[in-house]
Amino acid sequence: MADSRLIEHYIDYRVPACRRQLAVAYRAQQTFHLTNEHLTVRFSVTKESTDDMPVGFGLHPYFVRTADATIRANVGDMWRADNNAMPDTLVGPPEQLLLDGTGLKPDLSPLDNNFVNFGGQVLIDWPERQARLEINADPIYQCLGVYTPAEQSFFCVEPATNHIDGFNLADEGRDDTGIIVVEPNDTAVGNVTFRPRLL
């Protein structure tokens, strides 16, 4: 029978009262909920002053790269990046990255891109280890970053509420940036769950 112990840890940050005249007042929490079956990371941001506050948050986990590792995800279009790694143009995603695709191999596909319309599911496979990691994110996470730099021993798959430069693009009139506006005494909250398993 599996051990059902639970480990929970949280980080709580509140803008100090002495700094509130310089910044909006808010409270941010990150909670780690670990069992034998999964890890859930929960973010929450609560607005504690009288003005609305734009906010965004996400996770940036690094994973071990192997020669046969693949990534598949439920994503929409991809932001092609300019020379400064900033979003430039929306284009279709690489077909192999899609959930019904063959899997994007980090060694063969260097990316540093954000994807819109993230559907909350990622599958990472390491066939040589007969292992899979399933990532499930709440709907508040509308974007996914994929970072597969050339000739490195890692890659990143990053659920986020908003994409890179989302605040500036929202100011320019885009409504698909994933930026959240938190009203006074309201909270933006979302979970991301990681479930490893052997195949």
Here the tokens at position 23 are 């910044």
Q: Could you report the per-residue pLDDT of 155-164, keeping only the tens digit for each? A: 999 999 999 9
Q: Could you report the per-residue pLDDT of 32-88, keeping only the tens digit for each? A: 999 999 999 999 999 988 888 899 999 999 999 999 999 999 999 999 989 888 999
Tell whether 85 is covered by a domain.
yes
Q: Could you report the per-residue pLDDT of 119-177, keeping only the tens digit for each? A: 999 999 999 999 999 999 999 999 999 999 999 999 999 999 999 999 999 999 998 89
Tell whether 130 is covered by a domain.
yes
Tell whether 2 is covered by a domain.
no
Tell whether 87 is covered by a domain.
yes
CATH code where residue 20 lies: 2.70.98.10
Tell whether 1 is covered by a domain.
no
Tell whether 176 is covered by a domain.
yes
Separation of alpha carbons 32 and 184, rounded Å: 26
Tell whether 97 is covered by a domain.
yes
pLDDT over 80 at 199, yes or no: yes
Q: Could you report the per-residue pLDDT of 18-42, keeping only the tens digit for each? A: 555 556 788 899 999 999 999 999 9
Domain count, the chain: 1
Domain that holds residue 150: 7-198
Tell whether 106 is covered by a domain.
yes
pLDDT over 70 at 7, yes or no: yes
